[in-house]
Amino acid sequence: MKKVLIPTKLDAVARETLNAHGGYNVVQDDSSDLGTLASQHSDTYALFVRSEKVTPEIIDALPSLKVVIRAGAGFNTIDTKYARSKGIDVMNTPGANANAVAEEVVALMLADARHVIPSDASTRSGKWEKKNFMGKEVTGKTVGIVGFGAIGQLVAKRLSGFEVKVLAFDPFLSDERAHDLGAASASLEEIFEQCDYISLHMPENDETRGIINKSLFARMINGATIINCARAGILNEDDLRELKADKGIRFLNDVYAKDAAGDKSIADIADIMLPHLGASTSEANYNAALRSATQLMGYDDKGIASFVVNRDVPEGLDKAYSELAFALAHTCRGIAGGNKKIKLIETSFYGDLAKFADWLLVQVVAALSDDFDRTLGYDAALDYLKEMGVEYFNRETDTSKGYGNSITVDVTTSVDSAHFQRISVRGTVAEGNMMISRINDFDKLYFEPTGTAVFFIYKDRPGVIGQIGNALADAGINIDDMRNPHDPSCEFSLALLRTSEKVDCNVTDAIAANIEALHASCVSF
């Protein structure tokens, strides 16, 4: 029998489900240190954890370990790279806690609207301050949801009884799917300009860190409320501190840079603070426990690895092509603009890459959506596309074209309800280096997608490259590489430049206006 170690207070349904299977010997102990348990149970095959840290030392103490399952979504406490080096698969259970977080958002909204916390303290102290606690109603308000994945969608559903108007921001969500879920698609700016309540549900990464900043706070309705049950780093607390009083902003928070006791930097600006209780419900614990057990059984009995988050590159595939697929899709996203709604993804995998199409699709989806992790599997990618209402088509390739091992990614986005924009990017790997060979009709680029690149499309005429170079120089930015092809008609030119540093959007916009560009964008790889 395979030993499963559960060193945490996880619902008993995990143990009961695995025992009923008959193939597992389950040891559950939430009172002992994980290091101690590891030394006592070195024959452990599978390890279930919640917030416990799975370090290289723990992994080395479990030489028989093959699977680690995080009963929850986040897996930052697990050294996934070291686990992979030891041939250990790490899984998570995304979505198991979604309803708990969604209900917490509603609880925070109501508690703040009716002054539940201060009025309780006041009444317990013997006071009767009814006139000081005049509240407001949630019913009929406009609610903005930033990030419309599983949790964001459940927030909308839970609020439906309050007859609120829901605006949703998520570039990966189709307008039709948003409508089906009772929401209207909106830009970030529109949400902050129009909403009485704004609930954040974005992941934290290089693109989203600090995205909720001064420019958005300044747009908020006076007296509006912002709720962060996502990640601390997506919100610039100094910017909020600067504008909070003048705008009368209410700030309700459940997330921090570090989950630990001690002073919190937002204590002076948070109107309600909770100790990261989003997933702390008995039901969420039950769901995560049951998912952990069923995923392990599916993994062992049927080879289902959809939720493995540290998958290695398949045998026979050069990792550079995995990075290429990600970079090509990331380029499409950057050219399209972050607020454009994706309608259709089309891919072509040429040469020997055709047999790795399933794996490479995962990289494409992850590059296009911050909510999808590139370590997940093909089935998870297809499920995510279906959930977000995005169509996918993988084209059969024509070997006679002589493209060798190359990839084409096409992304169709909606400009408005009647118009669509299609971005097509092809690339390959040459001498171990990724190369973008074509962007739409601009061919033979052979441009390496690294660092930062700026794109300008303009009507071809002399002197434009000089204008761009001078403007970048005035901003203290050096050009590291450049391509300047014409389209087949020779009417339009593409200025594609790799720069020494990221180019501020104000600089890009000023250059675009000066050269009368038809398109301008900046992409950081």
CATH number at residue 205: 3.40.50.720
Residue 206: pLDDT over 80: no
Residue 331: pLDDT over 70: yes
| Domain carrying residue 507 | 450-525
- The pLDDT value given to residue 416: 67
Mean pLDDT of 62-87: 91
Do residue 105 and residue 248 come from a single domain?
yes
Do residue 119 and residue 226 come from a single domain?
yes
- The pLDDT value given to residue 465: 94
Residue 390: pLDDT over 70: yes
* Domain presence at residue 308: no
- The pLDDT value given to residue 19: 95
Do residue 35 and residue 147 come from a single domain?
no
Give the CA dihedral 392, 398, 399, 402, nearest 10 degrees.
Answer: -100
- The pLDDT value given to residue 378: 84
Do residue 441 and residue 363 come from a single domain?
yes
- For helices 150-159 and 98-113, the axis angle rounded to 10 degrees is 50
Q: Which residue has the higher pLDDT, 489 or 27?
A: 27
- The pLDDT value given to residue 220: 97
Tokens of 115: 């002054």
User: What rounded mean pLDDT belongs to the chain?
Assistant: 92
- The pLDDT value given to residue 419: 67
Encode 119-152: b = buried (16+ Cβ within 10 Å), e = exposed.
beebeeeeeeeeeeeeeeebeebbbbbbbbbbbb
Mean pLDDT of 414-420: 70
Q: Report pLDDT digits (tens) over 350-364.
A: 999 999 999 899 999
- The pLDDT value given to residue 371: 83
Q: Which residue has the higher pLDDT, 477 or 374?
A: 477
Residue 307 contacts residue 377 (beta carbons within 8 Å)? yes
Do residue 175 and residue 221 come from a single domain?
yes
* Domain presence at residue 420: yes
Number of C-beta neighbours around residue 480 at 10 A: 15
Last residue of a domain, one of 449, 470, 495: 449
Using a pLDDT cut of 90, give the percent of the chain over it.
74
Do residue 404 and residue 347 come from a single domain?
yes
Tokens of 52: 């416990």
Mean pLDDT of 491-515: 92
- The pLDDT value given to residue 338: 61
Per-residue pLDDT band for 269 (boundaries 50, 70, 90) equals: very high
Q: Report pLDDT digits (tens) over 435-463.
A: 999 999 999 999 999 999 999 999 999 99
Q: Which residue has the higher pLDDT, 137 or 397?
A: 137
* Domain presence at residue 120: yes
Residue 384: pLDDT over 70: yes
* Domain presence at residue 227: yes
* Domain presence at residue 307: no
Evaluate if pTM is beyond 0.85: no
Residue 363 contacts residue 374 (beta carbons within 8 Å)? yes
Per-residue pLDDT band for 279 (boundaries 50, 70, 90) equals: confident
Do residue 118 and residue 251 come from a single domain?
yes
Domain count, the chain: 4
Tokens of 206: 């290089």
Alpha helices in 125-281 (DSSP H): 150-159, 175-180, 188-194, 214-217, 237-247
- The pLDDT value given to residue 418: 65
Do residue 416 and residue 510 come from a single domain?
no
Using a pLDDT cut of 70, give the percent of the chain over it.
99
Last residue of a domain, one of 449, 476, 497: 449
Q: Report pLDDT digits (tens) over 160-171.
A: 999 999 999 988
SS3 content of the chain, % helix, strand, coil (to 5): 35, 25, 40
Per-residue pLDDT band for 150 (boundaries 50, 70, 90) equals: confident
Range with the poorest average pLDDT among 6-20, 394-408, 456-470: 394-408
Do residue 56 and residue 204 come from a single domain?
no
* Domain presence at residue 187: yes
* Domain presence at residue 50: yes
Do residue 377 and residue 364 come from a single domain?
yes
Do residue 355 and residue 429 come from a single domain?
yes
- What are the Cα distances from residue 441, in Å, to 109, 154, 411? 50, 42, 15
Residue 243 contacts residue 262 (beta carbons within 8 Å)? no
CATH number assigned to the domain comprising residue 378: 3.30.1330.90
Mean pLDDT of 193-222: 93
Do residue 217 and residue 358 come from a single domain?
no
Residue 306: pLDDT over 90: no
* Domain presence at residue 255: yes
Last residue of a domain, one of 449, 476, 509: 449
Q: Is the dihedral of CA 381, 382, 388, 392 positive or negative?
A: positive
Q: Which amino acid is at 462?
A: P
**Cα 405 → chain centroid:** 29
- The pLDDT value given to residue 300: 94
User: Order of strands across the sheet with 341-349?
Assistant: 391-394, 341-349, 406-416, 419-430, 433-439, 442-447
Long-range contacts of 484-490 (CB under 8 A, 24+ apart): 485/442, 485/443, 485/444, 485/445, 486/442, 486/460, 487/440, 487/441, 487/442, 488/441, 490/460
